Amino acid sequence: MTATKTSRQKLRNHTRYLAFTLEIYRDALSFINTVTYRGWSGLEVLGTKERINAIEHLIHATERNPLPKHPDFDKRFYKFPGYLRRAAIAEAIGHVSSHMTALAKWRAREEKAETRSRRKQKARPPSFKPRCNSFPVFYKGDCYKWINNGKVALKLFTSKDWIWFVLPFEPVDIENRFSAKDGWERKNPMVVNRGKRWRIHFPFEKKVELKEKDFTRPVCSVDLGLNHTATVSIVNSDGTVVHREFIDYGAEKDRLKTTIGHIAVKGRQTWLIPEGERFCKHLWDKIGDYTDEIAHRCSREIVDIAVEYNCQAIVFEHLGRLKIPKGVYGAAKLRRKFHYFLRGRIQKYACYKAHAEGIRFSRVLARGTSENAYDGSGTVRRVGNRQVALFRNGKRYNSDLSASYNIGARYWIRELPKSLAGNSGVAGEGESPFMPVARHQQTLASLISLARTASHGGGSAHAPYSGQGSSLKREIAIIASA
């Protein structure tokens, strides 16, 4: 597989021709979007390359194609670079295809609603918008030349012609971040505009081979909770927990909660928002920065722990839909929403950072990981600020730690029977040596029972594990939390 990272570098000096280039590219993309949308019925049945060639045949004149169906493109966009034209065509195909998919889903929902309620008035279908706020990619040779680490030459539009300009940018930390020795390769850049700020984005690609699953290497299980940003446990295939760690960013989370409170207060004080203005723009920008910073730092720390302990996979809970309890509103409702968004962003960042290190990314069923005690004693009752879990046998334990144990155990319970099914010494061909409990009830105790059953020659019966006084040959170390 290919791992990709992007270095976003600030342009130290920019010219107005960057804005001219961006404007003409978006105009050309809007033109091609309209042409693609009108002829989609004939383009839909073609392959990717055939679609690009067919659209180019409709808008661009050549020796073999002197009279295109839409000659206005060459007149409006004189000397438009061929690489940019093909990039715009590829983006237009994706834009129109996405719209058609959304339209088909809307029609299916409307047909289902008509058969159920027989309503007369239909909701509006999704409308096609040819104008896109996209940024051009400058391809090597035709539109972009790398001079050195700090200078780049780009072909820009000057309202009359396309001319080469040399632009300085902040140097990329190639030696430490994107060394060629590590397999990183620089690709074609993209110029991005945010307000008055211009940046150049350099993508770097690296070919990564994920190692085969090895049951002698542990997994890094992560519980993303309300009390701590992340709780990490290193779990072996036999149920041994060799390391546990809490990751938390108290200062950043306090700033985030305070800013959310300010937005909630201003929301109650605001009656009407003028059209075209964004409500609490600066505060929402701050929240975006805080959330992104926490997600990047947390995901980086999780991957570093996995690398340190030579883990083969990082395991998270599978996020479901956002559910907010009744009676929760205002700042409390916003905090729950942002906690949900933060968990998704941490998983997203951890995924591509893990793949860059050759580590697998996996998710397991989230239901019951926090409700069930890791020792198999049954459901727990949370006390205090829900950070302490009270087990049925009277034990008190950290609820996030218990959940992280169960997350790692569910990964191994899912993977171990697959490897043991074909082992004739353990079970018959195609048979599982262990019949686990329901997925939402699987805990660390279930994994220990599975490993113990398999090591003793196996049987189809479930080896019971009691958390109320039974001892195992290999006890896991725990941290008691009052």
Task: Give pLDDT tens digits for 199-208.
Answer: 999 999 988 8
pLDDT number for residue 227: 77
Mean predicted lDDT score pLDDT of the chain: 83
Note whether residue 169 is domain-resident: no
Q: For residue 11, tell me if it sits in a domain.
A: no
- Of 457, 460, 404, nearest to 436 by C-alpha is 460
Residue 111 or residue 89, greater confidence: 89
In a domain, 54, yes or no: yes
Q: Are residues 327 and 437 in the same domain?
A: yes
Asked if residue 45 belongs to a domain, the reply is yes
In this predicted structure, what is the pLDDT of residue 333? 78
pLDDT at residue 211 tops 90: no
Is the pLDDT higher at 328 or at 410? 410
pLDDT at 478: 35
Tell me, yes or no, whether 100 and 232 share the same domain: no
Residue 424 lies in a domain: yes
Please check whether residues 281 and 417 belong to one and the same domain. yes
For residues 401 and 287, state if they share a domain. yes
Same domain, 110 and 240: no
477 pLDDT above the threshold of 70: no
Q: What is the mean pLDDT of residues 312-336?
A: 80
Residue 385's pLDDT band, with cuts at 50, 70 and 90, is confident
Is residue 317 over pLDDT 60? yes
**What pLDDT is recorded for position 457?**
53
Q: Residue 382: what pLDDT? A: 84
* Residue 436, pLDDT score: 57
Residues 237-273 have pLDDT tens digits of: 888 999 999 998 888 888 888 888 888 888 888 877 7
Chosen domain end from 67, 100, 117 = 117
Is pLDDT above 60 for 77? yes
Per-residue pLDDT band at 117 (split at 50, 70, 90): low
Look at residue 25 in the predicted model and tell me its pLDDT. 94
- pLDDT(216) > 90: no
The tally of domains found in the chain comes to: 2
Q: Are residues 245 and 366 in the same domain?
A: yes
Domain that holds residue 24: 16-117
Is the model's pLDDT at 434 over the cut of 60?
A: no
**Is residue 211 domain-resident?**
no
Q: Which of 85, 117, 149 is the last residue of a domain?
A: 117
Global pTM value? 0.75
Whether 98 and 247 share a structural domain: no
The four Cα atoms 369, 375, 376, 381 give a dihedral, to 10 degrees, of -60
> Is position 323 within any domain?
yes
Could you give the CA distance from residue 9 to residue 16 in angstroms, rounded to a whole number? Answer: 18
Domain final residue, candidates 78, 93, 117: 117
Residue 400 has pLDDT above 70, yes or no: yes
Q: Does some domain include residue 379?
A: yes
Split at pLDDT 50, 70, 90, the class of 471 is very low
